[in-house]
Amino acid sequence: MSGDTVLRATIGGLLHDIGKIWAQGSRPDPKRSHWDCEGGPECQCRQKWGHSHAAMGGHMVAEVFGQESPFAEAVALHHAANASARAIPIIACVQEGDRLSAGERDDQYDPGEGAAGSPLPLLISPLAGSASSARVRPRPLVGSWPPVEEADSSTPMPVQQWYDDLARAFRDGGAKLRSLQGDALVDGVLGLVENVGSLAPSAFWRTRPDISLAMHLHLAGAFAGALAAVDDPEADPCATIIAGDLSGIQAFLHRAATARAARQLRARSFYLSLLSLVVARTFARDLGVTPAHVVTASGGNFLVVAPPGCDAKAEQIARHITAELQTVHGPVLDVIVASTQMRRSEASQFGAVVRRVRSELHRRKLRRLDGRTAPALFAPRGAGGASEACRACGADGARPAEEESERLCPFCAGLVELGSALPTKNFLTLSSASASQEPGWRDAFARLGWKVELHERVPDGDATASLLVLDAERLREAPHGRLFVSGRYVPRKRDGGVVEFKELAQRGPGRSLLACAKLDVDDLGFFIRGLGSRGSVSPSRFASASRFLSLFFEGHIDVAAERRGAGDIYLIYSGGDDAALVGHWRGTIEFVAELRREFRRWAAGNPDLHFSAGISFGAPDRPVALALAEAEDALALAKAEAGKDRCTLFGIPFRWDDVEEVLRWTDRLATLVQDGHLSRGALQVLQVAREAIDELDPLGKPRYGPAMWRVPHRLRRARGESTRKEAEQLAADVEQQLVRAGGPARLVAAARLAEWQTWRGERIEEPIANQERRSR
């Protein structure tokens, strides 16, 4: 089929169930459930066209695109079983896309059809697991963040009013779609669908309502377009599933190791997120499909639903992209892909399809340089002559930027500029263009044939440019924009400049030290396998869980850091299922513990979904690469524990409730010192409790020895201006801790943190590394 037919089938799939929003509203209209008739007692719309939400969706789409629109017809007839409807190729592709996306079939959505099950059209978080029944309030993504709000079932809920608001938001946003063309139109439709349908269920009468309507529509559009591309709605295999990886992300981030790395680290993270998306969209474009065929693109990983039989072409595209990236970045970044053919019978086992293709991708990553070393890596570069290396990435041709003492290459200088501009930019436009070269951070995008522009306000004009919104609040101005939650927040100075790490280390109590933390979700693969019933995972169920996970790591963490108000957290990277951040030592520990609590709420208390963290400490002038490497080691230590779900401090993989207790003890000890009831020397005494820690099991039974009685005894003698009663109480509590499982480890960590919190000096004499890291 032609590209226009692929576009129509894709948009038909993206909109086919949009009538489900109107179906739950409070203002019934006798004509809304009829299509192409006047109604009346002889009407056979239900028999001809299937469920009433189909006709209702047709009317909603007709309001946007007109009654004669092929999109409206495809939506209204997507449940029609008669031969005349199936004879229309677009409708047949939309119907098959709907079936493939659902996988776990539930045709009964409309009320009053005699279905057994919940009549409550409220979404259960896709991350909740089978034990939770907490419902999510349906609302547009625009508004206060986080968008996931639990519906209070203890009071009457205005469910119909909530759906009226969604229907109104769709109509208001739909008016902005009429002038768009091509990929911009696909992105606009998908953006509007994501805005109004992400927090509504795709079905609820006979199934667990934990699949997002937006993700069901997204996958239906992708499969419909893939089938239209081969002109065969019945094709089997029905699609090529492409998994890709932007390899070298950590090395790319670590290259920003200058003393003033804060100016560009966040920009590097944003650049990588955008590059992941653009690379995935390049595959979709070059394979003849649309941006809607990119199912996920975050954390350097992407998944694309492509037409069946395009494995060889995907490999060719990957080689081209890698060559262009290596021209810009050298051997640091490249693209590795794997693909597999998906059969129709695998629609209910989509998780197995993804595991299969990702297993092959992992194998290829282990052999990424085998037999395909790019000649360009060994070709002469530059024009020769005297030149200085870039202080950030080591590239030749560095020049001092304006008002800067450091020499940076054009790319890194562009990242500094990008990092300064990001907090004021709210929109991004992306459009296809002729391949070219462009100095600065846009060069890789230009070489791949894309034009990227950042905007403070909604741009006017170009009907072919896709609009991405960088702030959920700005969806009010552009409800059809694709929410690109990649994170832009950086702590700022009073003059608007980016806070350097030396100043960041001073934004908190006590000693000026920085902490670097790395977070990563535990056993995500096992969680995905457990989705659905009887081990079945449909494409839409898989995509719903992935979307909710990325909303937390790419969106919520950034907002949470900004809402702290202390300006003591700098996000280095956050995307997919992991994050890296740096900040004042106290603020970092508190923030990571807060994120753990928030993530538990985000996942509706699912005990099987959690993350681990590793935190390293050091001076503010310590190289960022070293801080990240130490945090990575600490994270590995946490994940080595049975059950994971830990946070490593000072080389000890604490449980999360232990971290909270360490902070409580820290505050208690610091307060006693600051009030003059305890000498700072007593904090050194407490650290003698290290002798009672079992090195093989630091959170287990303490090791009996002299520390058991020496520490309490010395505390009683080390009291400051305290009364004997206060000293005795502290000593007694310490004695109890010393005999509790993990007590000595908690005391030692708290005493060290209390030392930092009560520090009054201004200079840092030596860096604090993870000297206590246990070897495994």
What the block records as the tokens of 363 is: 């194998």
Domain boundaries, the chain: 3-226, 236-377+421-425+427-469, 499-649, 657-776
In this prediction, residue 524 carries a pLDDT of: 86
How would you class 213 by CB atoms within 10 Å of its CB: exposed for 0-12, middle for 13-18, buried for 19 or more? buried
pLDDT band at 115 (very low <50, low <70, confident <90, very high): very low
d(CA 709, CA 267): 53
Which positions ≥6 away from 327 have C-beta within 8 Å? Answer: 376, 447
Q: Convert the pLDDT of each residue in 180-202 to its tens digit.
A: 999 999 999 999 999 999 999 99
- CATH architecture of the domain 236-377+421-425+427-469 equals 2-Layer Sandwich (3.30)
**Mean local confidence (pLDDT), 601-626:** 90
Ranked by mean pLDDT, which of 234-243, 252-261, 665-674 comes out on top? 234-243
d(CA 218, CA 206): 22
Q: Do 236-377+421-425+427-469 and 499-649 show the same overall fold?
A: yes
- Does 476 have pLDDT greater than 80? yes
Which pTM was predicted? 0.89
pLDDT band at 43 (very low <50, low <70, confident <90, very high): low
Give Cα separations from 280 to 33, 54, 191, 247 (angstroms): 39, 32, 17, 13
Looking from the CA of 582 toward its CB, the CA atoms found within 13 Å total: 33
In this prediction, residue 393 carries a pLDDT of: 73
Residues 222 and 193 sit within 8 Å (Cβ to Cβ): no
SS3 label, residue 115: coil
For residue 146, say if its preceding peptide bond is cis, omega within 30 degrees of 0. Answer: yes
Residues 721 and 676 sit within 8 Å (Cβ to Cβ): yes
- Does 356 have pLDDT greater than 90? yes
In this prediction, residue 257 carries a pLDDT of: 55
**772 compared with 143, residue with greater pLDDT:** 143
pLDDT band at 760 (very low <50, low <70, confident <90, very high): confident
What the block records as the tokens of 279 is: 């690379």
Residues 305 and 226 sit within 8 Å (Cβ to Cβ): yes
**Mean local confidence (pLDDT), 213-226:** 98
Q: Which CATH homologous superfamily contains domain 499-649? A: Reverse transcriptase/Diguanylate cyclase domain (3.30.70.270)
d(CA 74, CA 487): 37
Least confident of 46-50, 403-407, 722-726, 767-771: 767-771
